[in-house]
Amino acid sequence: MNPIHAANSHRKLQLNIEHQSTASLQTNLRNARIHSKVQVRQIPDSIRCFGFVNPVLFVADRMIIT
């Protein structure tokens, strides 16, 4: 379903929360955001220091969308 139509639909959408290992997720090769190797290595330290408060959203085939 088109996301715009889904947002305007009168049907109730079901939210599913799943805990997945990061190794099971796939990056989207069409993602415009590019991070250097240094930035990617800084992520675990940042999460340990500040905590992780933003969920990772992915579609059924484990493709990361946010």
Structural domain span for residue 35: 3-50
**Residues 6+ positions from 57 with CB-CB distance below 8 Å:** 64, 65, 66
The answer as to whether 42 is a domain residue is yes
Q: Are 16 and 55 in contact (CB under 8 A)?
A: no
| Model pLDDT for residues 8-23, shown as the tens digit of each residue | 556 676 777 878 787 8
User: Considering the entire predicted model, what is its pTM?
Assistant: 0.40
Residue 15 counted as domain residue: yes
pLDDT class of 38 with cuts at 50, 70, 90 = very high
In a domain, 17, yes or no: yes
For residue 50, give the H/E element and its range: helix 37-50
- Is residue 41, in this structure, part of any structural domain at all? yes
Is residue 21 one of the residues assigned to a domain?
A: yes
Distance of alpha carbon 12 from alpha carbon 63, whole angstroms: 23
What's the total number of domains in the chain?
1
Q: What is the mean pLDDT of residues 36-45?
A: 88
62 part of a folded domain: no
∠ CA 3-33-48 to the nearest 5 degrees? 100
Q: What is the pLDDT of residue 12?
A: 72
